[in-house]
C-alpha cells in the first residue's frame, strides 16, 4: 500500500482570477478534494460516514465528519489556466481524533504549494471533537 496519494486536477477558468492565475483560496479546494478522494479510495464515503453504525460502541453515530482545524500553506509558484496539476497527500501523524496531512500541489516537476492540514473528526450534531471510527483509524495507521 502506497503511503502517498496522488490526485490529478486541471485548472479551469472558474478557478482563476483576473490575471488568469489560480485564486489563492481555490488551492484549498484542490487539497480538500484530494483528501476526500483518498478517503473514498480507502473505501470510506463521507456521506455514508455521517450516518453509520459504530459496532464498537453498539450505538448509532450520526453526523460524524471531518473538519479542518488548522492549515499552514506556502504558495511558491502560480498555477495558470489549463494547467494539469497533481495533488500529493500523505499522512504526517494521526491519533483517534485528529490527523495531520502533508500535502503539496505540483505542475510537472515544479512544486507550486506546500501545506500542513490538521483535520479533526467531529460529532457534527454536538459540534465537538469525537474519535474517528476504528476502521478509518486503522487504515491511517497503515499509511503512517
- pLDDT attached to residue 52: 56
Do 64 and 133 touch, CB atoms closer than 8 A?
Answer: yes
What is the rounded average pLDDT of the residues 129-143? 90
Half-sphere exposure of 67 (CA within 13 A, CB side): 12
Active site residue 54: no
What pLDDT digit, counting tens, does each position of 21-72 carry?
A: 999 999 999 999 999 999 999 888 777 777 654 545 444 455 788 999 999 9
Q: Pick from 69, 74, 80: which is nearest to 114 by CA? A: 74
Mean pLDDT of the chain, nearest integer:
89
* Residue ranges of domains in the chain: 4-143
- pLDDT attached to residue 58: 42
Choice among 15, 17, 83, 102 that is catalytic:
17
Any idea how long the chain is? 144
Do 117 and 68 touch, CB atoms closer than 8 A?
Answer: yes
What does the DSSP 8-state code read for residue 3? S
If one looks up domain 4-143 in CATH, what number appears? 3.10.129.10
What pLDDT digit, counting tens, does each position of 62-109 carry?
A: 578 899 999 999 999 999 999 999 999 999 999 999 999 999 999 999
Amino acid at each position: 500500500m502506497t503511503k502517498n496519494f496522488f490526485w490529478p486536477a486541471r485548472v479551469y477558468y472558474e478557478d482563476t482570477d483576473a490575471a488568469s492565475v489560480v485564486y489563492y483560496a481555490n488551492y484549498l479546494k484542490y487539497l480538500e478534494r484530494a483528501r476526500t478522494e483518498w478517503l473514498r479510495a480507502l473505501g470510506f464515503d463521507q456521506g455514508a460516514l455521517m450516518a453509520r453504525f459504530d459496532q464498537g460502541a453498539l450505538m448509532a453515530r450520526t453526523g460524524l465528519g471531518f473538519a479542518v482545524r488548522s492549515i499552514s500553506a506556502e504558495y511558491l509558484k502560480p498555477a495558470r489556466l489549463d494547467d494539469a496539476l497533481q495533488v500529493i497527500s500523505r499522512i504526517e501523524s494521526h491519533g483517534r481524533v485528529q490527523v495531520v496531512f502533508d500535502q503539496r500541489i505540483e505542475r510537472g516537476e515544479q512544486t507550486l504549494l506546500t501545506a500542513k492540514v490538521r483535520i479533526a473528526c467531529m460529532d457534527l450534531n454536538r459540534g465537538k471533537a469525537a474519535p474517528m471510527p476504528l476502521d478509518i483509524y486503522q487504515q491511517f495507521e497503515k499509511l503512517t
